Every structure is written in C-alpha cells, then in structure tokens.
Structure 1
Amino acid sequence: MKVKRHIPILKRSLDIVVSALLILALTPVWILVAIAIRMESKGPIFYYAHRVGQNYHTFKFYKFRSMRVNADQLVEKMKHLNQYKSEAQETRTLKLTRNLIANAEYKSIVVGDGIYAQLDEFEWQKRNNTGNAFVKFVNDPRITRVGKFIRNTSIDELPQLFNILRGDMSLVGNRPLPLYEAEKLTTDQTVGRFLGPAGLTGLWQVTERGKDNADPVKRVALDIEYAEHHNFWMDLKILFKTPLAALQHENV
C-alpha cells in the first residue's frame, strides 16, 4: 500500500508563495546561467535524475547542468575522491570502474550521481556491502568551470524551485537521495530519515555541508532529528542560516 505524503498546510503555503516569488525574481539569473552553461559546453542546460523523497516517493529532480557531457569518460580519475568512502572500499570501487571502462560494450549499466557500475557488479556490491550509503566527491574532474561556480554558490539547485511548486519537495527538509543511496537506507536505524519531507535545504546543510571527512552516520542522525521534530519555526531558523551555508568553500 502506498503511503500518502503529507506536508502541513502552513509549511505547504510557505513553499508555494516563496518558490513562486523566487522563480519570478530570479529570472535574470536563470537566463545568465543558461547562457554561461551553453557557451562553455554543448549539451542540455538542465538535467534531471530520479530521487527518493518523503515516504520513498520517487520523482524527477531538476538541476542546472554542472558537468561535462562526456562525464562518464572521466570516471577512472574519481576512484579516490569519495569523501564518504572508507579505505576498505577503495579496491572494490576501483575494480568496478575499471571493469566498466574495459567492457564499454556491456549494455546493463547502472548510472547514478557519482557512480557507474555494470549491473551484475552493482547487485553484488548491494548484497555484500554494508559500508556508507552516501557518495560525495572532492575536486570532481567532470565539473565544468561554470559548474564549479554554480555548485559553490548553490545556483545549480535553483530549478528545484519547480519541484517545490509541484509538491515533490519543500523549502526545508531532508535532501532527496539517488535511488542507489536510498535503497541502502532501509534499516530500522536509518529508515526514519524518509519520514520527513524532502527539501531544498535542511538541518544537515546548515550544520555539516562543505566540511571535510563527511560523516554518514551523523548525516542520517541529523535527518532523523529533523523528521521527528520539524516545525514551522525550526524551518524559519534553517532558512535564515541557509545563505551562509550555501556559499561553501569546498568543491564537492
């Protein structure tokens, strides 16, 4: 049975009003960013990926494109860049990426934000890997110069205002996750983070974003804390802290 998503009326009203006003007010920014992206590299201005939000609701998650179109050709250079990955996982990840490149004709490939793997290898890893669910890269070589700027200023997130207007997300909540991350967070200890609404910004972003040595356990704990205790005033406090948190210095 599908669980019905619920966002409190006051929170939903704030989402609609603020997202609509921001979409209109930021129109010049949208135009400038679109021009900059197309001038630096050919390809789409926007991209979408399926993400998992509240109660495991899956939706199309939009962003400005910040990576090269040929990003898959650079995956070999990324083997050591995952901030969440432990040393014990590096050998396995390197094997996955090398196998993918060596078998380019292989058709069953799983692709996600920061991960590329053959389907059988991915299934093996899913069954046997109890390591970190999150993937985050430092100095990702796939990111363009414009992409680096719009990521560090969080401008790449602006298209998610349409997700908020549609009701897929809220202004404040837990970040919606790629499918391959969400399916690893289904234990009794982690599933609670999906009880809260998906959000553009959240408790984790204003406390931990941009820090080195990211801690996946702490991230889940903060997500669960928000899901269990969020209210209108907590949301306002997080919104006020967001502009400073958005101007992160680390290239992640």
Structure 2
Amino acid sequence: MKNKKVVTETFKLGTYLIDSILVILSIYIAFIIKFQFEPPIYNLEPFIDIIPFIIVSYLIFMYVFGLSDILKKSIGETIYSITLTVISLFITTAFITFFARGFAFPRSVLIISPFIQLALLSIWRSIVWKLRRIQHGVKNSLIIGEKNIDYVAKKIILKQNELYNIKYICGSNSKNIDEYLDNVEVVFICNDVDYNIKSSIVDKCLDNRKSIYIIPDIYEIAILNSKLNRADDIPMFKVQKLGLNFEQLFFKRILDIITSIIGIVLTSPIMIIVAIIIKLTDKGNIFYKQERVTIGEKRFQVLKFRTMVMNAEKLTGPILAGEDDPRITKIGKVMRATRIDELPQFFNILKGDMSVVGPRPERPFFVEKFKAEISDFKYRTLVKAGLTGVAQVMGKYTTTPEDKVRYDIIYIKNYSILLDLKLILQTIKIMFMKESSEGVTLEEPLMDIIKKRNPKIVVDKD
C-alpha cells in the first residue's frame, strides 16, 4: 500500500514536470514560428527571464482549476480545465511581459503560444487521464447506510461506475457486513450510520487496509484541522468554535470591497446590455428584489436580474425552480445557465449585506423549513451569505440541501483568505458547465437503476 502511494505521488510529480516543460516548449515553438527557426537572442532573453514566473503561475492555475486531480473527471472536463488554465496563464504572461522588457517579447508569440499550449497539454493530459484510470482500475465496493443509502448508491452507480463496481448495498445492522467487507476494496459509509457501528467498520477497514469514504456529519466536520492539545500527558483535540474572529472578518470585508468594485467595473457593460434586453423582450422590471437571510439570520433585499415572468409566484407561492420551469423567460434561461442574473449582487456585497464567498442566501420561508428538517442548517448563518461558495463550486443545482449544508459548514471550518481567492477563481470554471446549473429533478428509484445498470448488486437493507 505504501509503495503504491509512492508510485502515485511520483506519477503526479512527473506529470507536473512534463506539464511545465510543455508550457515553456509551446512558447519556444511560437518563437520558432515567428522568426522562422532563428529567434534572435534579444527577443529570447526576456522570455528566459520570466520562465520561473510562468511555471509558478501555471502550477497555481492548474491547482485552482482542478488539474491536480483528474481521476474522477471526464476527459471533457479535463480539457475544459486545461482551457481555463491556458487562458489564465495567457493573461498572466501578458501582464508579466510588461515588467520584463515587454517590447522585446513579440505580441504574436504571446498570441500563438496559448493555442500550442492547449493542443500539447490536451494530448498529454488525455494520456495521463487514461493511464490514471488504468492504474486505479475498477474497485469492488460496498455502501453502508440507512435512510440516505439510496441517494448515495444512485450517485456512485450513475456517476462513478467506471471507478467503483458496487457489489453490495447494505444496512448498518446487516449480519453479513463482515462477509461483504472481505470481498471489496473500497467502503462508503453514509452519515446516518450509528457512531459505534461506524467506528467498528472503520477499525476493520484500517486493519485490512481498505479504502474508506465517509460522508461527514457535524461531528466529523468539527474535528477537521483540530489542533493537538493535551491535559498533562493526555492527548486531545481542541475543536475550534465555528465562525470567524475579528481579524478574519476585517480582512474578508476588505477583500469583499475590492472584489465587488472590480466586479462592478468589469461587468458593467454586460449588466447594461442585459438590462436593455430584459426591457425590450417583455417590458417588465429589469431587477428583482427578494428578502433573503444572511449572518445572524438578519434579513436583506437581494438584487438580481429578473429571469422569470412578472409575479411568477403570485399563484404558486414560494417554490424551488425546476428544470424547464415554464415561469423562466427565454433570456432568463441563458442568464441562469451563465449566472449572469447574479451580477447585481456585487452591489449587495459592496453595501455589506453579503460577502463574495459564503453560503448562498436563502429565503426566510426555506430557512425555517430547512431548520426544521436539517439540524445543522442553523450553522450556515454564522457567516455572511455569499455570491459563491464551496456548495456552488463543488455541488450542483440538484445537490441536496443536506449536502449543501455540509459544504457550507466545511467552508466555515476551513475559512481563509486564500480559500476565498481559490473559490472566486473556481467560480469562473463552473459558470458555463450546464450540469452545475440544472434545476431540481426527481431521480429513478434505486432498484430500477440497479436493474438497468448492474443486476448483480446485492441489496441487503433489512
């Protein structure tokens, strides 16, 4: 197991090294094309001087856009991440050349090189993707849980069947758990498994060197990144309280002000065009105000571009938007898919009602509803509501409220300025990904999916 981990880490480092070589090689090839195989040293020198900055920039963008772990991504998602990385690197390189004898660095090289980078990195990373899939193989797996087991099983069967072959789905009180554990390599444990049973299963998995994936509850999230402490010679974890301290709140507010001003300036042409289109298409209100809940359960009016017909909820009352919702206008569908409808919230951020990053603000009706149904929902309002967040970057429109709450609490627990910056950049990545902006949908019953996908799965939930 240890040797396998060493091989995996070595493989990753080798991948990053070749990535860096290809990025630099692409720029050199652009010089070759520009100067017909004889680039002058005068033009090459500024390029050579900034090579370290280009490599560091690439590695940062590669990490932010998810190229550090491509095992669970599709090949399409991988190439999409490469495209965003190359575009970001192009902008950064253009900026760097202004400070490194920019006039000696030909603009044509700057323009040609991203296309070569995209081609070379896409071919190389496609090979890496295939090798990683072969290396990982398809692992025989077991899912253990209670009420949430159907949802988890559906997700893995439908989305990760190329990585995990589900052999058994069983309740936590099944008498056959030990037998199932002996016949699998990977174990998924749902959050609703009793603590004592969960502890016993984890112990057996560790003893037999099996991989374990645990869907966390508030206890597991609370002990994340806990500091080792002691009472005399007794080791213990100090669980930090949820929420941000004064220093964190201060610097987060500074980031919010800077980001919102930049956001308003950069997106103002888009907002003006959208406003005109909305007014011309149905002559209704351009903006839509709605009461939402933020830190300390304070209420504020969130500002959005209107994406639905006027008075959409007059007859239906408060309901979540669904896929192909007839209330959504044609331009509204485009705005929702690209999240353009959220741009006016930069003004909410500048005002101080919201933050750039944080749990999405819910309506009071749904806050009360979810608080009654989800015990941990109350922790979301320990920080300001945000324009984007971990739940938006990692999840989808179809992600359950319970899972969104887990993402939000994990964000609060792990908050840092660097995490905010990373999430802001990652939000760019998901803006044009359709799967992340789908409406709430109903899924097939688990047994129907099993019959279609893998009838050999043993279901033991009694």
Q: TM-score, normalised by structure 1?
A: 0.70
Distance 1:207 1:37, change over 3 A: same
1:246 is aligned to 2:246: no
Residue 411 of structure 2: aligned partner: 226
> How far apart are the structure 2 equivalents of 1:180 and 1:70?
17
| Paired residue total | 190
Alpha carbons 1:209, 1:245 under 8 Å: kept: no
Q: CA deviation at 1:72?
A: 4.3
Alpha carbons 2:396, 2:438 under 8 Å: kept: no
User: Which structure 1 residue ranges, 5 or more long, are not aligned?
Assistant: 76-96, 98-110, 116-134
Q: Which moved more, 1:197-206 or 1:236-245?
A: 236-245
User: Match for 2:295 among 54, 77, 81?
Assistant: 54
1:195 is aligned to 2:382: yes
> How far apart are the structure 2 equivalents of 1:18 and 1:225?
23
Residue 64 of structure 2: aligned partner: none
User: Which structure 2 residue ranges, 5 or more long, are not aligned?
Assistant: 1-244, 440-462
5 Å-filtered alignment, 1:113-192, equals 115=319, 135-186=320-371, 188-192=375-379
Higher-Rg structure is 2
Residue 88 of structure 1: aligned partner: none
Taking only the aligned residue pairs, the percentage that are identical comes to: 40
Residue 206 of structure 1: aligned partner: 393
Alpha carbons 1:194, 1:227 under 8 Å: kept: no
Higher relative contact order (CA closer than 8 Å, sequence separation 6+): 1
Q: Which moved more, 1:160-169 or 1:236-245?
A: 236-245
Alpha carbons 2:354, 2:384 under 8 Å: kept: yes
Kindly provide the amino acid, as one letter, of the partner of residue 238 in structure 1: L
Distance 1:242 1:137, change over 3 A: same
> How far apart are the structure 2 equivalents of 1:186 and 1:70?
27
1:181-212, Cα deviation, whole Å (9 max, x unpaired): 111243642211111221000000000124x4
Alpha carbons 1:196, 1:226 under 8 Å: kept: no
Structure 2 counterpart SS, 1:190: helix
RMSD value, Cα: 2.0
Q: CA deviation at 1:176?
A: 0.6
> How far apart are the structure 2 equivalents of 1:194 and 1:229?
15
Alpha carbons 1:63, 1:159 under 8 Å: kept: yes
1:117-176, Cα deviation, whole Å (9 max, x unpaired): xxxxxxxxxxxxxxxxxx341111111111111111110000100000000001000001
> How far apart are the structure 1 equivalents of 2:427 and 2:299?
25
Q: CA deviation at 1:251?
A: 4.2
Q: CA deviation at 1:47?
A: 0.8
Kindly provide the amino acid, as one letter, of the partner of residue 16 in structure 1: I
